[in-house]
Structure 1
Amino acid sequence: MDKNQQILIKLAHTKMPFGKYEGRYLIELPEYYVVWYSQKGFPKGQLGEQLQLVYELKLNGLEDLVRNIKKQYPKL
Structure 2
Amino acid sequence: MNPDDLNKLVTVAMPFGKHKGTLIADLPGNYLNWFAREGFPKGEIGRLLALMQEMDHNGLKPLLDPLRRGARK
TM over 0.5: same fold?
A: yes
1:26 aligns with 2:24: yes
Identity of matched residues, %: 38
TM-score (norm 1): 0.85
Counterpart of 1:23, as a letter, is G
Structure 2 match to 1:59: 57
Q: Which runs of 5+ in 2 are unaligned?
A: none
Q: Which runs of 4+ in 1 moved over 4 A?
A: none
- TM-score of the superposed pair, with normalisation by structure 2: 0.88
Aligned length: 72
Farther off after superposition, 41-50 or 12-21: 12-21
CA displacement at 1:27 relative to structure 2:
1.1
Kindly report which structure 2 residues correspond to 1:1-76, keeping only aligned pairs within 5 A, or say none: 3-4=2-3, 6-74=4-72
Letter in 2 for 1:14: V
Structure 1 window deviating more from structure 2 (65-74 vs 49-58): it is 65-74
Q: Which moved more, 1:47-56 or 1:64-73?
A: 64-73
Question: In structure 2, what is the Cα distance between the partners aligned to 1:58 and 1:20?
Answer: 19
Relative contact order, CA 8 A, sep 6+: which one is greater? Answer: 1
Unmatched tracts of structure 1, length 5 or more: none
